[in-house]
Amino acid sequence: MSEKVLIISDSTADLSNELIEKYGIKIIPLNVTVGEKEYTDGVDINPDMIYENYEKTGQLPKTAAINIATFTDIFEKYTGEGYSIVVFTISGEMSATQSNARIAASDFENVHVVDTRNLSTGGGLLVLTAAELAEQGKSAKEIADECTRLASYVDASFVIDSLEFLHKGGRCSALAALGANLLQLKPCITVKDGKMGVNKKYRGKFAAVLPTYIADRMGDASDINIDKVFVTHAGCDPQIIDLCVNKVKEIASEANVMITRAGCTVSSHCGRNTLGVLFIKKTPVSAE
């Protein structure tokens, strides 16, 4: 009898409910603190609530890593039901969630932890790959090893309309935010070696620069696995999302484009008008 494998991810993977249900993925939510009140990501708080609170109070939320005890309880439950587990977390460079998962997993023989070296659907791409491999009958160790290898092949980036949230969260200076606003600069944030950094700055209105950004990231699509291409946004207008999906299809007509809404982590750092195209390349992502 083949090994029963359960794929687990923290909530930062930003997968839609449809994908989670389709593949039977178990999601462990992060905690989100707004003011004095604590919420559970995707359960009793969503990005629109974060935006509404910010407009009223000027407060941004704080996210907290999943603790060791939570991981331990979940690992005990599902290994007790006969599962081998592959668990995915946000980059260890961005959160203690990764190290907490590893500490908890050290007490179990059949729990394998994968550091996605990413966030949002950059990690989600690996989670879906794992679910597909599980359906093919691969073992938990084989899945973990392959997804760990693929982590360096993920091309994850976002364009941000406004630096207001990054400034408010202490991630860029007031001068940089003011300058970007005056010059209509839209920074492209990429994930490299598990960390976020500015790759390129586009000049112009948000909707106008997005097709150029997508063309820059995808090239002629010859080095892209087009079976999974995410267009992930933090609450953009439907017309902007459609524009971006059409641009992806223009470049790679056979691409399987999945639209997802970024969860509380990305949304609280970047703000409403943030959009990215994310995919797995056929070769490792080079330094830029």
Domain boundaries of the chain, sorted by first residue? 5-30+65-152, 156-281
Tell me the CA distances in angstroms from 27 to 8, 30, 86, 202, 234, one per residue in order: 6, 10, 12, 35, 19
Q: Tell me, what's the pLDDT at 180?
A: 44
Grade residue 84 by pLDDT with cuts at 50, 70 and 90.
very high
Check: CB of residue 86 under 8 Å from CB of residue 144: yes
Both tokens assigned to 217: 């990231």
Looking at per-residue confidence, does 252 or 182 come out higher? 252
Work out the number of other CB atoms within 10 angstroms of the CB of residue 237.
13
Check: CB of residue 14 under 8 Å from CB of residue 260: yes
- At the top level of CATH, which class does the domain 5-30+65-152 belong to? alpha beta
Task: Give the sheet arrangement for strand 31-34, strand by strand.
Answer: 37-40, 31-34, 62-64
Secondary structure E strands in 180-239: 185-192, 195-203, 224-233
Grade residue 24 by pLDDT with cuts at 50, 70 and 90.
very high
State how far the Cα of 283 lies from the Cα of 77, in Å rounded to an integer: 38
Handedness of CA 158, 162, 163, 169 (dihedral sign): negative
State how far the Cα of 117 lies from the Cα of 98, in Å rounded to an integer: 10
Does residue 15 have a pLDDT over 70?
A: yes
Per-position b or e across 172-205, b if 16+ CB within 10 A of its CB? beeebbeebeeeebbbbbbbbebebeebbebeee
Closest CA to 13 of 109, 142, 130, 172: 130
Work out the number of other CB atoms within 10 angstroms of the CB of residue 106.
11
State how far the Cα of 167 lies from the Cα of 175, in Å rounded to an integer: 9
Looking at per-residue confidence, does 245 or 31 come out higher? 245
Domain 156-281 of CATH type 3.30.1180.10:
yes
Q: How many residues are there in the chain? A: 288
Check: CB of residue 129 under 8 Å from CB of residue 105: no
Whether the full predicted model's pTM is greater than 0.75, yes or no, is: yes
What's the mean pLDDT in 161-188?
55
What's the mean pLDDT in 204-220?
96
| CA 117 to chain CA centroid, nearest Å | 10
Closest CA to 231 of 121, 128, 117, 151: 121
Q: What is the mean pLDDT of the chain?
A: 90
Q: Tell me, what's the pLDDT at 184?
A: 67
For 26, the 3-state DSSP assignment is strand
Does residue 19 have a pLDDT over 50?
A: yes
Check: CB of residue 262 under 8 Å from CB of residue 11: no
Tell me the CA distances in angstroms from 112 to 109, 130, 148, one per residue in order: 8, 12, 11
What's the mean pLDDT in 49-68?
89
Q: Tell me, what's the pLDDT at 234?
A: 93
